A and B are shown apart, each in its own frame.
Chain A
Amino acid sequence: VLQDDHKLSKEELEEKYTTSISKGLTSARAAEILARDGPNALTPPKSTPEIIKFLKQMVGGFSILLWVGALLCWIAFGIQLAQGVASAFDNLYLGVVLALVVILTGIFAYYQEAKSTNIMASFSKMIPQQALVIRDGEKKEVPAEQLVVGDIVEIKGGDRIPADIRLIFSQGCKVDNSSLTGESEPQSRSCDFTHENPLETKNIAFYSTTCLEGTATGMVINTGDHTIIGRIASLASGVGNEKTPIAIEIEHFVHIVAGVAVSIGVLFFIIAVSMKYKVLDSIIFLIGIIVANVPEGLLATVTVSLSLTAKRMAKKNCLVKNLEAVETLGSTSIICSDKTGTLTQNRMTVAHLWFDDQIYSADTSEEQTTQSFDQSSQSWATLSKIVTLCNRAEFKPGQENVPIMKRVVVGDASETALLKFAEVILGDVMGIRKRNRKLAEIPFNSTNKFQLSIHETEDPNDKRFLLVMKGAPERILERCSTIMINGEEQPLDRERAEAFQTAYMELGGLGERVLGFCHLYLPEDEFPDTYPFDTDSMNFPTSNLCFVGLLSMIDPPRSTVPDAVSKCRSAGIKVIMVTGDHPITAKAIAKSVGIISANSETVEDIAKRLNVPVEQVNKQDARAAVINGMELKDMTAEQLDEILINHSEIVFARTSPQQKLIIVEGCQRQDAVVAVTGDGVNDSPALKKADIGIAMGIAGSDAAKNAADMILLDDNFASIVTGVEEGRLIFDNLKKTIAYTLTKNIAELCPFLIYIIASIPLPIGTITILFIDLGTDIIPSVALAYEKAESDIMNRRPRHKKKDRLVNEQLAVYSYLQIGILQSIGAFLAYFTVYAEQGWLPNTLLGLRVNWEDDYYNDIEDSYGQEWTRYQRTYLQWSGYTAFFVSITIQQVADLIIRKTRRNSIFQQDLIHESPFFPFSRVQYWFVAMPYAILIWVYDEIRKLFIRQYPGSK
């Protein structure tokens, strides 16, 4: 709630803040207040200490499980060491390796997170360095941080406003509030109380906004965190960071895998103990089971895949700050888009002309070079002259080679639009102005609402002066008695006036800003060469002029936006426009970009068409809705929900930052994944609240960029569509990666289970498992992230946050119970082969474990009667590990091939070249599992065939 300082008179203000407008505060008093209120700076939010963030990474995901594993290892090591078991140190090393795995992946994740920057950093950057303040009756330069409430400060064009100030004196002061309110127009500032709402009144200038021109003196009424911007900043930092959908999915996945790992581990611990294994051995089995079950490399793989996609997106102008946000865009179901700058070009452009009783459209695309409307009429020649002359905007010098539309102009938005428009059609506007020398000028002001100038004509034979005028159409028309039709002056009768009204209403209805133009040739006899024009006394006619035409301007939509919006539509994404602009303008733009489609109507439209009161219209009939910020203010959450559900095409106009937040929350209540685009400081809370905040890279304020998860480098809405596509692709591909990774977990787990139950020598060691998980499997997993899209992913609905999971039952069952088992069998074949070829036939292996692992049994007989020492057996066991490992790797190649597509046959997809890494082993063992690799592939092809034949069955 803001105070009502804007309503108070100067005297009341002086009293309230015990200050003096002429002398300012005393230094002593200022120091006192500074001590009370604190410095005029935004307090940064309490940030979590880096060490805590780091530790969080160390215990997240699978880390806990692995820590438990490592701890058990060390316990086992301790016990075995005490017992003098020779192999005790294996457990120590395994524990160290597990800990290293956790720490390294933790560091990796921490490093990724540390990249996303602190939101408050940019707010603090906005603080002006010095302020000119009156204290003790003298002007002083003090650091803006030391400003206190009651200080009298002076500002001039180019300054940043050092605090929230109530203006006491102003001269032509204009401020740019765009970072605060989203309005791109410069706002004039005066000492007058003009609006109840402190945000709208003209006599308050806000902290961190910029003074564009003029000078002003004001009294500081709020400092630091109490300023409007400070409140928005605290609003933004108060909004908790939502978990990204992919983070939720990964958590879900971790839960599943951890659940499986722990339950199998505990189950087999119990089995092992009841099979009379020693508790210590059972613990070691437990470690093995955990390590086999946990895909150690997966989270790193996911991070790598995401960052690869992020890089790819960056090339397409989507800069992703938060890695997980890469996928979020893919699951987005609602985009709340800001209008200015995102959907539109953020520059006024002439859109329509009205002269000769006819409306012409102008080209509003970004790269206009010519205008194609009918320019033969004499009226146009006259109109163009007024447009050229009655204009104070100028190109900055030295831009001759720059395309017209990109040149920098000194002047306000409308005048810039007119200047560029004239330059495109006529060329060399500056030359024309030089030839028609300006003699006098009345600049635009809010009281007369017109601009006037008097020129010599370029025709040396015509000694008359030309008076040109432009301004609010109704005001211009009032001053006219004739109207130009086809170059002829005709009396302005009622019929003509009505035609004007119709055209004015029509253009206004398009949400365009309309300007009227008129002129008058001053009679030579009354106004001779030397006539002294005086703009103060207005010693020249300003009525009975000749009306020439209307020009309307709009901030036109970007040419790529309509296509992008329709792509979003077909991808099942609802696009909602949220803007601070006027409802009519908002609706017009919404219509022109397709956010409101051509044949949709709002409740108001229906009411108008049927000629019934708005209340009688069935709200269900209206697809579109335009909601004013004022209406939104009075709505309950339920009413907002109703609107969001019932209407598919929604525009919110005149919204405040808090309302944007409310809208985002409303969408999130519908289980939607919400993307918000914005550029101003005012957008930052909503950007933060959104599942994915998208800031504009060019026009965006630093605060918006900081609050956002993603930055559009080209400010182009169409880039979002690319982002959506990439996001969906990465989700599909991560699914493949996970399916690929989970499969081999069974092949890693089975050896332990069989080892416990059948007491065979251990087929694969824990370290070897880690080597697969963190070694050979990483590259293929990452390669899967490069897979191209299978079907047209932009033609299906966004995935449902709660129904379409990353890891679902089918995926887990298929990976674990079918392909995983197949793979295990293949690997076991290799294992039995290695042992058989060395003298241990399969039947001798069963039940061998206890003797096999007896460190003092150095003459165990194999199937041929040969006697083996302990170390010889261990060495053979390692050969077994290698064979098992190689088999898994070989079969993972088959797995990789089958996972490349989810539905299509591999023959329908191009194979990319893989080179998985093989360690040395007797070469033939690479091929032992080959039949199973082929079997895996054939089996999966059959499955895919069935899926394609009978889609949709469970």
Chain B
Amino acid sequence: MARGKAKEGDGNWKKFIWNSEKKEFLGRTGGSWFKILLFYLIFYGCLAGIFIGTIQVMLLTISEFEPKYQDRVAPPGLTVIPRVLKTEVSFRMADPKTYEEYVAGLNKFLKNYDNDQQANSIEFDDCPDEPGDYINRGPFNNDQGQKKVCRFRRDWLGNCSGMLDSSYGYKDGKPCVVVKLNRILGFKPKPPTNDSLPPGMMGKYNPYVLPVHCFAKKEEDVDKIGTIEYYGMAGYAGFPLQYYPYYGKLLQPKYLQPLMAVQFTNLTYDTEVRVECKVYGENIGYSDKDRFQGRFEVKFDIKSS
């Protein structure tokens, strides 16, 4: 009985896929399938049209020069170059292969800062070589065409510019990292007041520089970190204000954000040393959740042999 029923069921199943009597495939005739498919073709066609239309309408409400909101991107992040996996810089001094990735990263990033890239004086502007105040370049639109950008000379980075030492100090176990403040359109960083800085930095205070300072992340690493050399415009360990504000990709396609470099010249080898670098400013924020906002962390593990 049950077996008979099962067979019957099988028959129905096959019949459902292809019913030769009614010429039905999956319960519908060819004509019916055609109508259905045509319906969905038109239906989805219309939907696609409506979707694209509404997207276009939405884009009309958005300026191409500045974003509507910036509450998610500010305050800016502090980025370290080279970009390292798990923020761990680990290499063997004797083996160039172990650090070539870092060197390549730096080379690639600093290429834009080569002098020949900044030759065009229509796009570039000779800003003062000393840190100065913000340079406002008008409203955020192209009524005056593109906006000029300040030049930034790679050699200001000294030993870390890669011009003197093509391995950026890695082959000597004195690694360099380049630090930049993430670009945010229209953002004007405000330097801190002198007395709000950590003790070691007070001496180098300049009201037009946003200072950066690196230190050992952990108590026990304080002795291992050794001397830290800072390079930047006019020897200031920080970002000069005349490079701000940023006017966006469209108005300043060649924009060079100010850089500074940090070289660890006396790191303890064969152990992990955790370093944190921080940028200081009144409108710079730090967050427990975002460990790259206004600061970053690098772990050095240099093997001497």
Contact = CB atoms under 8 A, between A and B. Distances in A.
Interface stretch (A214-222, A485-493, A588-596, A860-868): A860-868
Interface string A827-868: 011001100111101100000000000001111011111111
B55 interface: yes
B185 to A, nearest CB: 5
Interface in B43-85: 43-44, 47, 50-51, 54-55, 58-59, 62, 65-73, 76-77, 79, 83-85
B183 A866 contact: yes
Nearest to B293: A869
Contacts of B182: 858-859, 866-869
A821 B47 contact: yes
Interface stretch (B154-162, B222-230, B284-292): B284-292
Interface in A796-846: 817-818, 821-822, 825, 828-829, 832-833, 836-839, 841-842
A306 B255 CA distance: 66
B180 interface: yes
A854 to B, nearest CB: 9
Nearest to A857: B83
A436 interface: no
A817 B79 CA distance: 46
A935 interface: yes
Interface in B70-120: 70-73, 76-77, 79, 83-87
Contact of B249 (A865, A871, A931): A865
A870 interface: yes
B293 A879 contact: no
B4 to A, nearest CB: 15
A817 B69 CA distance: 35
Contact of B68 (A825, A838, A872, A876): A838
B77 A837 contact: no
Contacts of B40: 817
Interface residues of B, number: 47
A837 B292 CA distance: 23
A838 B73 contact: yes
A839 B67 contact: yes
A952 interface: no
Chain B interface main SS type = loop
A531 interface: no
A837 B290 contact: no
Contacts of B70: 838-839, 866
Interface residues of A, number: 39
Contacts of B51: 825, 828-829
B59 A872 contact: no
A872 B249 contact: no
Contacts of A928: 58
Nearest to A873: B72
A875 interface: yes
B54 A829 contact: yes
Contacts of A839: 67, 70, 73, 185
A26 to B, nearest CB: 54
Given A829-B58, A872-B73, A858 B79 contact: yes
A368 B293 CA distance: 89
A858 B84 CA distance: 11
15 contacts: A829-B51, A832-B58, A837-B62, A837-B67, A838-B67, A838-B71, A839-B73, A856-B84, A856-B86, A859-B77, A867-B182, A869-B79, A869-B292, A875-B290, A928-B58
Lowest 7 CB-CB distances: which A-B pairs, in order? A865-B249, A871-B290, A869-B77, A867-B182, A839-B67, A837-B68, A869-B292
Interface of A: 84, 817-818, 821-822, 825, 828-829, 832-833, 836-839, 841-842, 856-859, 861-872, 875-876, 879, 928, 931, 935, 954
Given A825-B50, A857-B83, 10 more contacts: A832-B55, A838-B70, A839-B185, A856-B83, A866-B184, A867-B77, A869-B79, A869-B182, A871-B289, A931-B54
